[in-house]
Amino acid sequence: MYVPQRGRRRASLPMALVVGVAAILGVTLVTVPANAAPQAEFLGRVPHANWYGAYIPVAGGAQIYADVLVPRERSGKVPVVLAVGPYFQHLRASRQRLAERVPAQRYDDLVKGARLLERGYAVVFADLRGFANSSGCPDNSGPADRSDIRRIVRWAASQSWSSGKVGLYGKSYDGVTGLMAAGERIPGLAAVVAQEPVYDWYRYLYGNGVPRTTRVGTPLSLVYTSMNPPPSNVDVSSRQFQDYLTRSAANVINPGCVPAALVATQSAGVNDPYWVSRRVLGRLRGSTVPLFLSQGFIDQNTPADGLVDLLRNVSGPVTGWLGMWDHVRGNDTDRSAMMGHATDRSSTGRTDYLDQVAAFYGHYLKGEGPRPTGFYVQDNTGSWRVQNQWPLRSSVRRVALTTGAYRFNGQQVATKVPFRNRWASTQIDGAAASFGVLQRTFDDAANGVWTLLPPEAAAIRISGAPRITLRTRLAGGHNPGTTPVAVDLYDVAPSGQAILISQNVSMLGPKTTSFRLFATDWVVAPGHRLAIRVTDSNRGRWDYYAVPPNAVTVNVVGGEALLPLAPVVSGTRTTGTSNTSLEGHLRWYRYPVPRR
C-alpha cells in the first residue's frame, strides 16, 4: 500500500473561515516562470508502482500538479495513460489521525480493472489549473487550458521513464480534455478515450440559444470544485493545504478570475468571444488521433448533440460504444452509478468495457494486437450489434411538417404520465429517467403543432441526428431572438401511447430556423407511427424563467424533418442486454399524443 503523508498541525477552523481570513489578509498567488524545471517528489509505494507528486510549470506562472504512478516492475520505458480534469482529490479523511495524502482515486476502476500498472503503463492524474493542487485561475476549457494540456502531454511524453506515447482517458469534463487534446496535434499523443463528453460548451448550457436549467448550477459547481475544502483534519502546514488556501483566496478576490468567469458563462450569445474560444468540435477537424468514444443516446447530462459532428470532423480511426444509457462510465454498474436498485447489474448492458479499453491502448500505445475497429451499438430494443461505422445511412426520409400555431407560455414538457388524477412531467435536467422523478405540469398537448405519420408497414431504424427546418411567422412583431421553439420526436404505439425518441430546442430565427435533434439509434416497430411536435418549450430540461414567456403566437407556415434511416438489420448481432437507464426511459419518458 501507499505510504501516507502525515503532518503535525491539524486544521481547527472551518475551511470557509480560513479562506475568508486569507482574503482579508490579501493573500496573493505566488507564480513561477513557465520555463522553470518541473518539480517531482517521491511520495511512497502503491501496489505495483512508485508514486510521485510532480509540479509542472505552465504559461502565466501557474503550476499543474500531477500524481504520477510509475510501474516498479518494468523493462525499459513505458507508455503513459493520462487523465486531466478538475475532479481529482489528493487527501483522504481519517478518523484516527490527520488526513492522509493519497493518489487520486477517481479512476481506480480503470487502474485496477484494466490492470494498467501490471501491464506496464505509467499513470498520471493531472489537475486542471485552478483545481485541487494546481495553481492559477480556472479557465473552463479555454485557451489557457488548451495550452496547459499541450504542456502536460509533452511533459508526460518526455520523462526518462516514458516511451514517448501518451493516451488520454476521461469521462464528462475529463472526456472534454481528451477531445481538446485530440484537436491540438500534440507530439506524443497517440490515443484518446472519451466517455460522455461535452461537445460544445455553449450548447451544453444554452441549447441553440435556449438556457438549460443548469446554466447557473454548472458554473457554480465548478467554482465549488475549485474551492472544495480539504478534509477538516488536514495538516495546515502541508504544501497541499497552503497551495489550496493561497489559490482559492486569490481566485475569489481577483475580479478577473472567478467573478469574471461566472459573469461570462451567463452570456447567451453564441458568438460571444468567451464561447468562441471554447469551441471543441471545430478544432477536431482533420484530427488523426485515434479515438475510443462512448456516448449514451439518452444521457440527460451530456447529450449526444455533437456526436454526428465529431464523427464527420475527425480523420483518424474512431471506435467505441454507443447506446441507450445515461451519464455513466462504460464499466459502471448500477451500484457504482447509484442507479436503479444499486445492484451489480451493468449500467450499459455489457461487462467488457475495460477489456476493450485495454486492447485499444495496447494497440496504439504499445503496438500490440490488431487495430480495434467498429462500434458496439445498442438500440432501444436493448439488443447490441457491431458495425464498422456509425451511422450506417441507407436513406433519408423527408417529412413535410404540418402548419399551425402555438403560443409561447413556457409550460410545455416533452414527457408526462398520469399521477394521482393529474399529469406529472418526468424529465428533469441532469436526472436519469430511471430515477422516476415526478413534478406537476401544466402542459397542454393542444399547444403545439403535431405531425402524425401513418403507421409503418415494416420496421424502420432511425440512426443519426434528425434535422429540423422550420419556417415561422411571429404575431405582434416580437423579436424572434427572444422566442424559443422545441421539437420532440415520438414513437407512437397503436394504443396511442408515445415514447420520446429525441428532442432539441432553439431560439427562432427571423424567418427560418434549422437545427438537429440529439443523435439516436431507434427501431420503430411495424404498426407504430412517428409523431413530431413543434411547440414552445421543453420545461424541465431547459429554463424558461431565464426566457420570460411573452405569450406571442408562433405561426408555423412550413418546414420539414429529415430522418436518417439505416438498415433495420445492421452490423452483426453480439452479446449484451438492456439496462436500467433504457428501461426507465421506456417507462417514464412517455407522452399522450392526440389521436388525429
DSSP sequence for 515-531: EEPPPEEEEEPTT-EEE
- 47 pLDDT above the threshold of 90: yes
Output 256 or 295, whichever has higher pLDDT: 295
Question: Do 381 and 426 belong to one domain?
Answer: no
Do residue 185 and residue 311 come from a single domain? yes
What's the CA gap between 165 and 163, in Å, rounded?
A: 6
Among 16-25, 234-243, 337-346, 515-524, whose mean pLDDT is lowest? 16-25
Which CATH number is 184's domain given?
3.40.50.1820
Question: In the 8-state DSSP scheme, what is residue 576?
Answer: -
What's the average model confidence in pLDDT over 191-198?
98
- Angle of CA points 450, 456, 461, to nearest 5°: 95
- The domain boundary, picked from 335, 353, 387, lies at 387
On the CB side of 30, how many CA atoms lie within 13 Å of its CA?
6
Residue 27 lies in a domain: no
Q: Amino acid identity of 153?
A: V
Residue 343 pLDDT class (50, 70, 90 cuts) = very high
Whether residue 579 lies inside any domain: the answer is no
Q: Could you tell me if 71 and 49 are in contact, meaning their C-beta atoms sit under 8 angstroms apart? A: yes
Residue 528 and residue 553 in one domain: yes
Cα separation, 50 vs 241, in Å, equals 23
CA atoms within 13 A on the CB side of 414: 28
Residues 316 and 304: their CA atoms lie apart, in Å, by 20
For residue 264, give the C-alpha cell: 461570462
**From CA 313, how far away is CA 557, in angstroms rounded?**
34
Beta strands in 31-73 (DSSP E): 39-46, 49-57, 63-71
- Nearest CA to 292 among 366, 194, 149? 194
Among 122-136, 238-252, 407-421, 561-575, name the one with the lowest average pLDDT. Answer: 238-252
Rounded mean pLDDT of 502-510? Answer: 95
The rounded radius of gyration (Å) of the Cα atoms in the chain is: 25
C-alpha–C-alpha distance, residues 469 and 516, integer Å: 9
Q: Is the pLDDT reported for residue 390 higher than 60?
A: yes
One domain for residues 511 and 439: yes
Judged against a pLDDT cut of 80, whether residue 91 lies above it is answered with no
Predicted local confidence at residue 227, as pLDDT: 82
3-state secondary structure of 483: coil
What's residue 94's pLDDT? 66
Does 381 share its domain with 460? no
Average pLDDT in the 249-262 region?
88
pLDDT at 454 over 60: yes
Amino acid, single-letter form, for residue 253: I
Q: Does the pLDDT value for residue 14 go beyond 60?
A: no
DSSP 8-class letter at 181: H
Of 14 and 104, the structure prediction assigns the larger pLDDT to 104
d(CA 106, CA 294): 18
In a domain, 18, yes or no: no
pLDDT digits (tens, 9 = 90+) for 527-552: 999 999 999 999 999 988 777 787 88
Least confident of 7-11, 299-303, 361-365, 399-403: 7-11
Higher local confidence (pLDDT), 99 or 514: 514
Question: Which of 62-71, 149-158, 178-187, 478-487 comes out lowest in average pLDDT?
Answer: 478-487
Q: What pLDDT score was predicted for residue 27?
A: 37
Residue 477 pLDDT > 80, yes or no? no
Which of 33-37, 148-152, 436-440 has the least mean pLDDT? Answer: 33-37
pLDDT band at 38, cuts 50/70/90?
low
Q: Is the pLDDT of residue 3 over 90?
A: no
Report pLDDT for 365: 98
The answer to whether residues 160 and 143 belong to one domain is yes
Residue 595 lies in a domain: no
**Domain annotation covers residue 588:** no
Give the number of other CB atoms < 10 A from CB of residue 314: 22
Count other C-beta atoms under 10 Å from residue 553's C-beta.
14
The DSSP call for residue 107 is: T
Q: In this structure, what DSSP letter does residue 284 have?
A: G
Spatial contact of 384 and 377, defined as CB atoms under 8 Å apart: yes
pTM equals: 0.92
Residue 470 · residue 512 · CB < 8 Å: yes
Same domain, yes or no, for 183 and 311?
yes
Mean pLDDT of the chain: 90
One domain, residues 354 and 403: no
Q: Is residue 206 part of a domain?
A: yes
Percentage of residues in the chain having pLDDT higher than 90:
76
Choose between 241 and 41: higher pLDDT: 41
- Cα–Cα distance measured from residue 133 to residue 127, given in angstroms and rounded to the nearest whole number: 7
pLDDT at 37 over 60: no
Mean pLDDT within 336-352: 94
pLDDT of residue 554 exceeding 90, the answer is yes
User: Does residue 14 have a cis bond before it (omega within 30 degrees)?
Assistant: no
Is the domain of 432 the same as that of 494?
Answer: yes
How many CB atoms are closer than 10 A to CB 366? Answer: 17
Question: Exposure string (b/e) for 505-526, b if CB count within 10 Å is 16 or more?
Answer: bbbbbeeebebbbbbbbbbbee
Q: What is the mean pLDDT of residues 255-280?
A: 93
The rounded distance, in Å, linking the Cα atoms of 347 and 521 is: 18
Mean pLDDT across 77-100? 85
Paired sense of beta strands 122-127 and 78-85, if any:
parallel
Task: Let me know whether 360 and 455 are in one domain.
Answer: no
pLDDT above 90 (res 18): no
Cα three-residue angle 124-189-153, rounded to 5 degrees:
45
Q: Domain check: are 167 and 193 in the same one?
A: yes
- What is d(CA 201, CA 274) in angstroms, rounded to the nearest whole number? 10
Res. 245 pLDDT band, cuts 50 70 90 = confident
Q: Domain for residue 591, yes or no?
A: no
Q: Which domain holds residue 96?
A: 41-387
Could you tell me the CATH number of the domain that includes residue 557?
A: 2.60.120.260
Query: Would you say 192 and 179 are in contact if contact means Cβ atoms under 8 Å apart?
Result: yes
Is 10 a domain residue? no
Q: What is the pLDDT of residue 39?
A: 73
Query: H helices of 162-238, where?
Result: 173-182, 201-205, 217-227
What domain count does the chain have? 2
Average pLDDT over residues 304-324: 97
pLDDT, one tens digit per residue, over 141-194 is 999 999 999 999 999 999 999 999 999 999 999 999 999 999 999 999 999 999
- Distance from C-alpha of 195 to C-alpha of 332, rounded to nearest angstrom: 12
Q: Pick from 343, 359, 387: which residue ends a domain? A: 387
State which of 387, 415, 434 marks the end of a domain.
Answer: 387
Report the pLDDT averaged over residues 565-575. Answer: 96
What is the separation of C-alpha 50 from the centre of its chain, rounded to a whole number of angstroms?
32
One domain, residues 128 and 166: yes
CA–CA separation, 450 vs 48, rounded Å? 61
